[in-house]
């Protein structure tokens, strides 16, 4: 096996594939990167058994300047190989594998020799047998992922909640995540899609996928099988296993009525929460209190840490109606929720001090909702 290639083009694809490679895997060969060279392309593969990523560099890609001398395949230790490629002295390098799988990397005056493994031992990628496929704009799906994964649990004690529930039905995609303390739900229309699916994708998989997706309207394709989801875009294919089990019914968690409504600029409110949480993070209880008085048209936020001090700030708002209310919550949950709305104006609906409250954009209120459970302080 022998080829030469432009380092920056190779490194870009290598960084993508490395997202799937873990040093903690129980299968030693999966700590490696698989390189497979044919007469017209170089294929890079990485996997940790849960996530698999495969990307192709074609001989026709002018930016890559791929020159193929001898086809073949090898598995190289991903971490060491990546560090070598990053630190090569020139922007072109050659790679050659001999019969003993010793791999020589040449770049200008530098020469590295790395021991490889037989690619035959590398597990086959999962097969996703699905005749139906969904086509979505990459930037839209990326936004859906970023808006929902923040609410997924990171506790393995309830593994089903570490995933994002994706439901596709009646030409609509609904994505829901909850850790039982907060919830995020996003809906987007799917034109000309007749497929129906109900799956749970690990939030970690979606987070890694979002980091790879382009910030453009370029189309991506999703294929779903019984236990795998496949996403293909550009020259890259991303596989993830699905979580098994039934996701909790979250439809009853979102309040349909409210007694107090606050409308604020998401960026301004986020800045106020960040100031209030400066002290709350230092105490034993990470809590911020919000006091609303529609009669006097005042809204105030409080952060109190007895060991250090307290903070109090009057909030700017666009609208405040309903009953007087005092409510306490985790400021980190509120910050995550507010960031997901970007620059928009947010309407926050409250019912009672110990009942969950919701955040929705002032426009298109049914498309996106964040829910936060308050904290009991007495």
Residue 127: strand, helix, or coil:
coil
- 260-278 mean pLDDT: 94
- 246-251 mean pLDDT: 93
Tens of pLDDT, residues 90-121? 999 999 999 999 999 999 999 999 999 999 99
Domain ranges of the chain: 2-121, 134-241, 260-372
Q: How far apart are CA 62 and CA 58, in angstroms?
A: 9
Tens of pLDDT, residues 322-357? 999 999 999 999 999 999 998 889 999 999 999 999
For residue 263, pLDDT beyond 90: yes
For residue 147, pLDDT beyond 80: yes
Which stretch of 200-204, 246-250, 362-366 has the lowest confidence by average pLDDT?
362-366
In the chain, the percentage of residues whose pLDDT exceeds 70 is: 98
Q: How far apart are CA 285 and CA 5, in angstroms?
A: 55
| Domain topology for 134-241 | DNA Polymerase III; Chain A, domain 2 (3.10.150)
- CATH 3.40.50.720 corresponds to the domain 2-121: no
pLDDT of residue 306: 73
DSSP per-residue string spanning 250-262: -TTTS-S--SEEE
Residue 334: strand, helix, or coil:
helix
pLDDT of residue 226: 83
Q: Which residue has the higher pLDDT, 318 or 311?
A: 318
pLDDT of residue 332: 94
Dihedral class, residue 9 (left if φ above 0, else alpha if ψ from -120 to 50, else beta):
alpha
For residue 291, pLDDT beyond 80: yes
Tens of pLDDT, residues 148-197? 999 999 988 899 999 999 999 888 999 999 999 999 999 999 887 777 89
- 199-216 mean pLDDT: 94
Supply 53's token pair: 């990523």
Q: How far apart are CA 100 and CA 114, in angstroms?
A: 11
Q: How far apart are CA 237 and CA 230, in angstroms?
A: 7
Supply 334's token pair: 């509120």
Tens of pLDDT, residues 14-58? 999 999 998 888 889 999 999 999 999 999 999 998 999 999 999
Identify the CATH number of the domain defined by range 260-372.
Answer: 3.70.10.10
Residue 349: strand, helix, or coil:
strand
Mean pLDDT of the chain, nearest integer? 93
For residue 131, pLDDT beyond 70: no
Tens of pLDDT, residues 2-11? 999 999 999 9
Task: Tell me if 2-121 shares its fold with 134-241.
Answer: yes
**With bands split at pLDDT 50, 70 and 90, how would you rate the model's confidence at 284?**
low
pLDDT of residue 272: 94
For residue 283, pLDDT beyond 70: no
C-beta separation of 253 from 178 below 8 A: yes
């Amino acid at each position: 096996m022998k080829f030469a290639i432009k380092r920056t083009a190779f490194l870009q694809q290598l960084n993508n594939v490395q997202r799937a490679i873990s040093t903690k895997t129980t299968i030693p060969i999966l700590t490696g990167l698989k390189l497979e060279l044919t007469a017209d392309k170089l294929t890079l593969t990485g996997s940790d058994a849960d996530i698999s990523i495969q990307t192709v560099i074609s001989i026709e890609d002018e930016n890559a300047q791929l020159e193929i001398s001898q086809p073949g395949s090898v598995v190289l230790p991903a971490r060491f190989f990546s560090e070598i490629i990053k630190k090569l002295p020139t922007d072109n390098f050659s790679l050659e594998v001999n019969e003993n799988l010793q791999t020589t990397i040449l770049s200008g005056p530098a020469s590295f020799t790395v021991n490889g493994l037989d690619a035959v031992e590398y597990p086959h990628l999962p097969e996703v047998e699905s005749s139906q496929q969904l086509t979505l704009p990459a930037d839209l799906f990326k936004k859906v992922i970023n808006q929902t994964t923040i609410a997924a649990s990171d506790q393995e004690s309830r593994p089903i909640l570490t995933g994002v529930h994706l439901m596709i039905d009646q030409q609509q995609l609904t994505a829901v995540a909850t850790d039982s303390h907060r919830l995020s739900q996003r809906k987007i229309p799917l034109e000309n899609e007749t497929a129906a699916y109900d799956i749970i994708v690990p939030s970690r998989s979606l987070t890694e996928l979002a980091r790879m997706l382009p910030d453009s309207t370029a189309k991506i394709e999703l294929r779903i099988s019984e236990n795998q989801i496949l996403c293909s875009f550009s020259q890259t294919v991303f596989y993830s296993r699905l979580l098994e089990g039934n996701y909790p019914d979250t439809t009853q968690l979102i309040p349909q009525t409210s007694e107090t409504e606050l409308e604020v600029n998401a960026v301004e409110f986020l800045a106020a929460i960040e100031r209030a949480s400066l002290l709350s993070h230092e105490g034993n209880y990470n809590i911020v209190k919000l006091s609303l008085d529609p009669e006097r048209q005042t809204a105030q936020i409080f952060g109190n840490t007895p060991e250090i001090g307290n903070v109090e700030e009057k909030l700017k708002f666009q609208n405040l109606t309903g009953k007087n209310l005092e409510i306490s919550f985790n400021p980190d949950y509120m910050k995550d929720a507010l960031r997901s709305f970007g620059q928009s104006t947010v309407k926050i609906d409250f019912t009672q001090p110990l009942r969950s409250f919701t955040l929705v954009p002032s426009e298109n209120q049914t498309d996106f909702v964040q829910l936060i459970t308050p904290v009991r302080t007495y």
